[in-house]
Amino acid sequence: MTDEIINPNEETRVADGSKVDLHFSVAIENGVEIDNTRSREEPVSLVMGDGSLLPGFEKALFGLRAGDRRTVSLPPEDAFGPWNPENVQKFDTVKFEQRPVEGHMMEFEDKAKQSLFGVIKTVGEDITEVDFNHPLAGKNITFEVEIFKVTPAGQQGVKLM
């Protein structure tokens, strides 16, 4: 007997609530890869609609089934959002414990005491600008995915011994 998980219905398509085993890669428009799960031994598992993937990435998976591969180009609105100039804030340079360095990411605390990361954009004698946009905001993204297994919502795969 084998010790593998069998999906009794290979025609099962990705839908809301499905458990999906997949490998994926994400690259920005110039081809630079920013994330890739293919170096892992096993595919990653996620449940559609659980918030593990951005909605634009999930939308690209709907309707796929085990064995399918897809490459999708996503505009900023469907990926990490548009770059928003209002997310660039100015601070008094003297209020930093250490002199900030342009291009470095720093952790800040918002009014609700939540951690918030920002990239130091410019450092002047009086004013330092910090960009709180996601580093990939405003960028076109290429999302490549390979589906290994789809389990319908509320079901589990069958393991044969």
Tell me, yes or no, whether 54 and 98 share the same domain.
no
**Within-domain flag for 159:** no
Range of the domain at 61: 13-80+137-151
Q: Is the pTM of this model over 0.95?
A: no
Domain shared by 30 and 53, yes or no = yes
Q: Check whether residue 23 and residue 62 sit in a common domain.
A: yes
Per-residue pLDDT of the chain (161 residues; tens, 9 = 90+): 445 555 555 679 999 999 999 999 999 988 899 999 998 989 999 999 999 888 999 999 999 999 999 999 999 999 999 999 999 999 999 999 999 999 999 999 988 999 999 999 999 999 999 999 999 999 999 999 999 999 998 776 555 55
Q: Are 147 and 68 in contact (CB under 8 A)?
A: yes
Is 157 domain-assigned? no
- Ramachandran region, residue 113 (left: φ > 0; alpha: ψ -120 to 50; beta: rest): left
